[in-house]
Amino acid sequence: MALQYNEFYHRHTGLTIGVEQVLFSKQSSFQNIEIYQTDTWGKLLVIDGMVMLSEQDEFVYHEMLTHIPLNTHPDPRQVLIIGGGDGGTAREVLRHPGIEQVDLVEIDETVIQACQKHMPEIGNWDNPKLDVRITNGIEHIKESGDRYDVILVDGSDPIGPAVDLFRKEFYSYCNQALRDNGVMATQCESPWVASYHPHMKEVYDSMNELFSIHRPYLASIPLYPAGLWCFMLGSKSENPLSEQALKRAETNTTSPNIPFKYYNPEIHQSAFSLPEFVREIFLP
């Protein structure tokens, strides 16, 4: 097979990836889901024409969405993941020894089934601390009380079923579902793509109103548009750059149980440094 997967983030400009085989292709009730064998990045999960992850680069997204908020929290036990049907975020959460329960709330069962079949090593599906629920994340969180220490929003882009995950109303539900020293993080698009800026600013402004501490942070994700990705952290009381948080980052990365490939204590700190053009998206 000699196919090219093309994803354009603006007009005819974007990514092109050699595809050797189409392993899975299905229109679910929510979205179009495809898994390809690529020539360079291993298997690739694509939803509604947007790369979600590849086997070769998924460690960046999952480590950075997980360990920065988890090490910001002094003692995370109860974690909620909204989305995350590939299992990678739950895998990283479960590496923290103090975790008691991870609720993974995915709206689309087809994503989980496809990933469990074709990319099983991304997840840690048999872990007894993991509770998978197939339901709407927003409905789940509205009925959650305040029982989570950390909430990780691992949804797709603000198109299709994930569009509500970029609205202030949703972050206010997250805030209510977090305990007193709770922390949340969400993926928040590419600073290099101008059409994303209104969404990024909306998330920033919403978190500003809802959380006493809110900070964007960055990571290099080669298969996301233009290769640089933003995350947004909201925290009720804990500063991600406090001495204690940095000490936890140090302690948790020296454990032989967590083979980090991107995250480390220096990255925990430097990810919050924004280039000037990124700072201007949030504070124009």
42 vs 74, which CB is nearer to a second copy? 42
* 164 a catalytic residue: no
Contact status, residue 77 vs residue 149, Cβ threshold 8 Å: yes
Rounded to whole angstroms, the Cα distance separating 56 from 44 reads: 9
58 vs 108, which CB is nearer to a second copy? 58
42 binds a second copy (CB under 8 A): no
In DSSP terms, 178 is beta-bridged to: 148
4 binds a second copy (CB under 8 A): yes
- Least gap, CB of 101 to a second copy (angstroms): 28
In the list 34, 263, 281, 282, the residue contacting a second copy (rule: CB under 8 A) is 263
Site string for a second copy, 220-239 (x = CB under 8 A): xxx---xxx-----------
Contact status, residue 200 vs residue 189, Cβ threshold 8 Å: yes
172 vs 195, which CB is nearer to a second copy? 195
CB contact set of 217 (below 8 Å; sequence gap of 6+): 64, 68, 230, 231, 232, 233, 240, 271, 272
In the list 13, 25, 135, 208, the residue contacting a second copy (rule: CB under 8 A) is 13
9 vs 30, which CB is nearer to a second copy? 9
User: Is 98 in a helix, a strand, or coil?
Assistant: coil
CA 250 to chain centre: 22
Residues numbered 185-224 forming contacts with a second copy, rule: CB under 8 A:
192, 218, 220-222
- Least gap, CB of 4 to a second copy (angstroms): 6
- Least gap, CB of 248 to a second copy (angstroms): 17
Q: Which of 154, 164, 180, 205 is catalytic?
A: 154
In the list 29, 75, 276, 284, the residue contacting a second copy (rule: CB under 8 A) is 276
Residues numbered 115-174 forming contacts with a second copy, rule: CB under 8 A:
none
134 vs 226, which CB is nearer to a second copy? 226
- Least gap, CB of 145 to a second copy (angstroms): 37
Taking residue 79's Cβ as centre, other Cβ atoms within 10 Å add up to 28
Rounded to whole angstroms, the Cα distance separating 180 from 250 reads: 24
| First vs last C-alpha separation in the chain | 47
CA angle 276, 279, 282 (to 5 degrees): 155
In the list 29, 75, 243, 277, the residue contacting a second copy (rule: CB under 8 A) is 277
- Least gap, CB of 15 to a second copy (angstroms): 7
Amino acid at 33: I
Selection from 167, 151, 156, 64 nearest residue 111 by Cα: 156
Radius of gyration of the chain (CA): 18
Using the structure block, give the residue that is written with the tokens 């993974």: 104
User: Is 111 in a helix, a strand, or coil?
Assistant: helix
- Least gap, CB of 18 to a second copy (angstroms): 3
The residues annotated as belonging to the active site are 154
Interacting residues toward a second copy by CB under 8 A: 2, 4, 6, 8, 10-18, 38-41, 57, 59-60, 192, 218, 220-222, 226-228, 260-264, 266-267, 269-271, 273-277, 279
